[in-house]
Structure 1
Amino acid sequence: MDAAGVEALFTRATGEYLFARWGRPIVPVVFGVDDATLSTVKGAIEAVVALAGHKMAETDPELGANLMLFFFRDWAELTEVPNLDRLVPDLAPLCARLAAQGANQYRAFRFDADGAIKAAFVFIRMDDELAALPAETLALNQAVQVICLWSDRAFAESSPLALAGGQVVLRPEIGAVIRAGYDRVMPAVARDPSHALRLVARIGQGGVA
């Protein structure tokens, strides 16, 4: 992937370039799934975190859990979750808007004072399209999309996943971008497009400092 391709991954529809990664260990909690699916989702998160060279933890000192994933059938269900409206501002109108759009997923991020990710909320409405996907595919896709603050249109045309040997895997070029973004010499937050050139340079060096 060249610099233009990497830059596009973090350039929002407004034209703003914005990269952010997690600034603290990730502590996931999953709602609305059975034990088998829970294990699959957490396994996917662990795999992507390991790929990034980042860390997970048992608890977040500020929030307890800082990555919350909700699986449900109707957007209205979210408004009934106790205290969720304290974590996600304007939850009711957001759910109404997403329902009107027929959306089947939404991600909301919170950031620390420096702009690094400190929490993420993933909402997945299990419509027929998503229900038809293998749990492993759905879990890996969500794990990839919360490891960084990607552009709102980064994967609108193509998935971050691909088929290899009959199995769904992370596209190698996307994995390389994640590893480069989490390289210890790289900033946790970047707003200048020149950051994309630095990512490409890290990829070319294998992400080794």
Structure 2
Amino acid sequence: MSDMLEPAEIEALFTRTDGTFLFARWGRAIVPIVFGVDDRTLGIVKGAIEAVVALADHKMAETDPELGANLMIFFFRDWEELREVPDLDRLVPDLGPLVDRLITAGANQYRIFRFDEAGAIRASFVFLRMDEELSAVPAETLALSQIVQTILLWSDRAFTDRSPLAALPGGELVLRPEIGALIRAGYDPVLPAVAQDPSHALRLSARLTRM
């Protein structure tokens, strides 16, 4: 594989700004729900979720016994709208201060993860404020990018310099092959769902060679 990721590159993708290494994948079937889109966009988002979950060889389900839905994706125009979503403050602690910070930062997207007792991902909330920048992104590209960034607990700086997507000659954006291979490796059932030791990057790298 010409685009093989080196162990150091893999380690960097899961090393946070504070220098700690943390890898985590979903520990349960993914049950998505999408708010604020029309039927066409809903189909695109759910198609992206299904494609990435299939790539990871993970599972989806109709309902989560604990939460009902455990992957919630919100599309909206103004951060203030989140304050009006019923019961969202129960699912997202300190919602008010968070909204204040996101407004101050001028952010157009934010992801929150929740974890089970073992540290595996049990839920994720994806917030997309459809400003001029995000509104200019094709729905297929936006959906794929967000789901890729939600299927694993990447570092907070993992894709700041380079997108997980790449352009084909015709201009269509697709998942970079090396990132797809890493996602598949991350869901190898032999590997733990959670790892805090950087040596986990070596175990992931070893599985890339067999893809």
Q: Same fold (TM over 0.5)?
A: yes
Which of residues 31, 38, 43 in structure 2 aligns to 1:39?
43
TM-score, normalised on structure 2? Answer: 0.97
- Quick check: 1:193 aligned with 2:206? no
Post-superposition, which runs of at least 4 consecutive aligned residues in structure 1 deviate over 2 A? none
Partner amino acid, structure 1, of 2:23: F
The superposition leaves residues 121-161 of structure 1 with CA deviations (integer Å, 9 ceiling, x where unpaired) of 00000010000010000000001010000000000011000
Percent identical among aligned pairs is 73
Which of residues 110, 125, 128 in structure 2 aligns to 1:124?
128
Write out aligned runs for 1:1-209 (5 A).
Answer: 1-166=5-170, 167-206=172-211
Query: 2:142 & 2:8 partners in 1: Cα distance?
Result: 28
Q: Secondary structure at the match of 2:137?
A: coil
- The Cα of 1:26 is off from its aligned counterpart by 0.2
Where structure 2 has 5 or more consecutive residues not aligned to the other structure, the ranges are: none
The superposition leaves residues 82-111 of structure 1 with CA deviations (integer Å, 9 ceiling, x where unpaired) of 000000000011011001100000000000
Q: State how many pairs are aligned.
A: 206
TM-score, normalised on structure 1? Answer: 0.98
- The Cα of 1:205 is off from its aligned counterpart by 1.7
Q: Secondary structure at the match of 1:133?
A: coil
Q: Secondary structure at the match of 2:11?
A: helix
